[in-house]
Amino acid sequence: MNTKVYDVFLDDKIIGTTKFEKSDPPMGVIFGLLTFIDIVYGYDFIKNYCTENAIQLVHDYPTNKLLSTGTISNLKVLNENGIEVKGGENQISGMDGEFEITLLGVSYPFFEEEFPHHVKTYNEQFNK
């Protein structure tokens, strides 16, 4: 099981962490719960950031404080060694109180080296 905690940065300022609990290894997709380090981060913060920086809001339901973003170029995720986990795209989605961060297109062999437990779990489903 993954016990690594990844730091999530926006504009080089840490906003939270994730453990990347879920994945789709063949597609190089990794995602997990985004735990913000401060209550100021959430729906209003993300929406305002995207609006101010011309980042697409793919979905936005203000009544429920639910949204999903397009790729945020200044969003970075670093592992415990300070190495960036890079994807071709990224997004934040969810609603106040529960957001996820998704990285799409994390390249191999980095994906397999950084997330061997996800690759192992995926491969084991075919050995049953």
User: Over the stretch 12-64, which tens digit does the pLDDT of each residue have?
Assistant: 999 999 999 999 999 999 999 999 999 889 999 999 999 999 999 999 999 99
How high is the pLDDT of residue 127?
82
How far apart are alpha carbons 110 and 81 in whole angstroms?
14
Q: How far apart are CA 79 and CA 38, in angstroms?
A: 20
Give residue-wise pLDDT tens across range 63-113. Answer: 999 999 999 999 999 999 999 999 999 999 999 989 999 999 999 999 999
